[in-house]
Amino acid sequence: MAEAAQAENRPFQTEVRQLLKLMIHSLYSNKEIFLRELVSNASDALDKLRFEALSAPDLLKDDPELGITLTLDEDAGTISIADNGIGMSYEDVIDNLGTIAKSGTAEFLSRMSGDAKKDARLIGQFGVGFYSAFIVADEVTVESRRAGAPPEEGVRWQSRGEGEFSVEAISREQRGTTVTLHLKPDEREFAENLRVESLIGNYSDHIAFPVTLVSGDDEPRSVNTATALWTRSRSDVSDDEYKEFYKHLSHDFADPLLWSHNRVEGKREYTSLLYLPATAPYDLWNRDAPRGLKLYVQRVFIMDDAEQFLPLYLRFVKGVVDSSDLPLNVSRELLQQNADLKAMQSALTRRVLDMLKKLSGDADKYPGFWKQFGAVLKEGVIEDAANRDRLAKLLRFSSTHSAGAEQDQSLDDYLGRAAEGQDEIYYLIAENHATALASPHIERLKSAGTEVLLLTDRIDPWLVDALREYEGKTLVDASGADVAASGAGDISKDAFENEHKGLLKKIRKHLKERVETVTVSQRLVDSPACVVSGPDALSPQLKAMLEATGQALPESRPVLEINVGHPLVARLDAESDDERFASLANVLLDHALLAEGSQLDNPAEYLARINRLILEPVAADTSDE
Contact residues: ligand ADP, CB under 6 A:
41-42, 45, 83, 85-88, 96, 127, 129-131, 177
What is the nearest approach in angstroms of ligand ADP to the Cβ of residue 86?
A: 5
What is the nearest approach in angstroms of ligand ADP to the Cβ of residue 438?
A: 47
Contact 524, 563 (CB under 8 A): yes
DSSP state of 511: T
What is the nearest approach in angstroms of ligand ADP to the Cβ of residue 175?
A: 10
Q: Which residue's CB is nearer to ligand ADP, number 179 or number 588? A: 179
Q: Report the SS3 class of residue 211.
A: strand
What is the nearest approach in angstroms of ligand ADP to the Cβ of residue 27?
A: 14
Number of residues that make up the chain:
625
DSSP state of 470: E
Output the DSSP codes for 324-340.
SSS-TT--HHHHHH-TT
235 exposed, middle or buried (CB, 10 Å; 0-12, 13-18, 19+)? exposed
Q: Which residue's CB is nearer to ligand ADP, number 33 or number 348? A: 33
Phi and psi angles of residue 452, each rounded to the nearest 5 degrees, phi first: -125, 130
What is the nearest approach in angstroms of ligand ADP to the Cβ of residue 161?
A: 13
Q: Which residue's CB is nearer to ligand ADP, number 80 or number 177? A: 177
Q: Which residue's CB is nearer to ligand ADP, number 249 or number 572? A: 249
Neighbours of 351 (CB within 10 A): 18
Rounded Cα gap, residues 185 and 500, in angstroms: 87
Q: Which residue's CB is nearer to ligand ADP, number 223 or number 436? A: 223
Q: Which residue's CB is nearer to ligand ADP, number 96 or number 193? A: 96
Rounded Cα gap, residues 131 and 158, in angstroms: 12
Q: Which residue's CB is nearer to ligand ADP, number 39 or number 511? A: 39
Q: Which residue's CB is nearer to ligand ADP, number 182 or number 248? A: 248
What is the nearest approach in angstroms of ligand ADP to the Cβ of residue 51?
A: 13
Q: Which residue's CB is nearer to ligand ADP, number 37 or number 424? A: 37
Q: Which residue's CB is nearer to ligand ADP, number 69 or number 338? A: 69
What is the nearest approach in angstroms of ligand ADP to the Cβ of residue 142?
A: 8
Output the DSSP codes for 196-208.
HHHHHHHHHTT-S
* Integer angstrom CA distances of residue 560 from 264, 377, 516: 60, 36, 8
Contact 142, 324 (CB under 8 A): no
The angle that helices 366-383 and 460-467 make with each other, rounded to 10 degrees, is 60
With CB atoms as reference, the residue minimizing the distance to ligand ADP is: 129
What is the nearest approach in angstroms of ligand ADP to the Cβ of residue 209?
A: 12
What is the nearest approach in angstroms of ligand ADP to the Cβ of residue 109?
A: 15
CB neighbour burial string for 376-401, b if at least 16 within 10 angstroms, e if fewer = bbbbbbbebeebbebbbebbbbbbbb
**Long-range contacts, stretch 344-349, CB < 8 angstroms, 24+ apart:** 344/268, 344/270, 344/309, 345/308, 345/309, 345/310, 345/311, 346/386, 347/264, 348/272, 348/274, 348/309, 348/310, 348/321, 349/310, 349/311, 349/314, 349/384, 349/387
HSE of 350 in the Cβ direction (CA atoms, 13 Å)? Answer: 8
CB neighbour burial string for 440-477, b if at least 16 within 10 angstroms, e if fewer = bbbbbbbeeebbbbbbbeebbbbbbebbeebeeeebbb
Q: Which residue's CB is nearer to ligand ADP, number 178 or number 260? A: 178
Which residues pair with residue 253 across a beta bridge?
A: none
What is the nearest approach in angstroms of ligand ADP to the Cβ of residue 556?
A: 50
What is the nearest approach in angstroms of ligand ADP to the Cβ of residue 291?
A: 14
